[in-house]
Structure 1
Amino acid sequence: MPTVACTNCCRTNRVPAAAEGSPRCGNCRAPLPWIAEAGDADFGEVAEQASLPVLVDLWATWCGPCRMVSPALEQVAKDLAGRIKLVKVDIDKSPALARRFEVQAVPTLLILDRGRPVARQTGAAPANALRRWVGESLSASRGPADSTSGSP
């Protein structure tokens, strides 16, 4: 199970790939960034059944822009801790998902809200542009991205 350091108190916490609600620090209860990996076998449980909106990163190990955008996506997940979940999918290991989402180029980014795709973007972008895109996509699908309604 991956671990993440709390940005509030710096304690290390284990964060499961799939769970109810959203992860919080066991020490100070601050929201934790939720970053998980998924593949063909567990995508439904990890991404589609998530209670939070999910930012899906469909990427490949051989893709330079994918490696460049990964830290920006992780920063967005940290900035929006408790409000989104980042799920990374390696398309070479998950060909059924690549076909299902009709991936023509990587990185391909999706926003899923309650398992339903609400936004899509292809190509790398800086963290501020990704944060804006995620915020606008969430606002269009369920209300303001900065709203904490629906989060435990």
Structure 2
Amino acid sequence: MAGKKLTCLKCAQLNRVPFDKLTDNPKCGSCGAALMPSKAVEITPAVFAKASASDDVPLVVDFWAPWCGPCKMMGPEFEKAAGKLSGQARLVKLNTQTHQSVSGKMRIKGIPTMIAFQNGREVKRQAGAMKVGQIVGWVPSN
């Protein structure tokens, strides 16, 4: 059975996980980090570049900044959504203040902005804060 490609959110190593094991808390073969975490993970531009280009499972990126009021309001909702979507999608955060080049490259015009990637391409984009139910309903299914 062919596996789903997942980039480790910690070390950026590409892993293959059988589809039926995505909900079994798979670990990275290199560093042992959880590949399908139940919490939102802060990632680096390098991990973002590799995961958004390679992963078969939906990768939902919250582009945010610590000074942004709506981002602060959405943070806990995004975290809850990560738990509800564990095994189906990976929710990650990228700080646009720290990594301004990525937000420019991705044409982020306002924050928070969520972008979903799957199979190497952007599949959805949404600007503005959302509640947990809206986030869960917005995320593409695997």
Q: TM-score, normalised on structure 2?
A: 0.72
Unpaired runs of 5+ in structure 2?
1-7, 27-35
Q: Quick one: structure 1 residues 94 and 68, their matched pair in 2 at CA, closer, same or farther if it must change by over 3 Å? A: same
Percent identity between matched residues is 29
Give the drift of 1:42. Answer: 2.9
Aligned residue for 2:75? 70
CA contact (8 A) 2:40 2:78 kept: no
Q: 1:126 aligns with which of 118, 124, 131?
A: 131
Aligned residue for 2:41? 36
C-alpha distance in 2 between matches for 1:61 and 1:104:
16
Give the drift of 1:40. Answer: 2.5
Q: 2:89 aligns with which of 84, 91, 109?
A: 84
Instruction: Give the number of equivalent residue pairs.
Output: 119
The one-character-per-residue Cα deviations of 1:10-51 (angstroms, maximum 9, x if unpaired) are: xxxxx853452347348xxxx752532223233223443333
C-alpha distance in 2 between matches for 1:16 and 1:105:
25
Aligned residue for 2:122? 117
C-alpha distance in 2 between matches for 1:65 and 1:43:
22
C-alpha distance in 2 between matches for 1:40 and 1:92:
12
Aligned residue for 1:49? 54
C-alpha distance in 1 between matches for 2:68 and 2:129:
11
Unpaired runs of 5+ in structure 1?
1-14, 139-144, 148-152
CA-atom RMSD, angstroms? 2.3
CA contact (8 A) 1:58 1:107 kept: yes
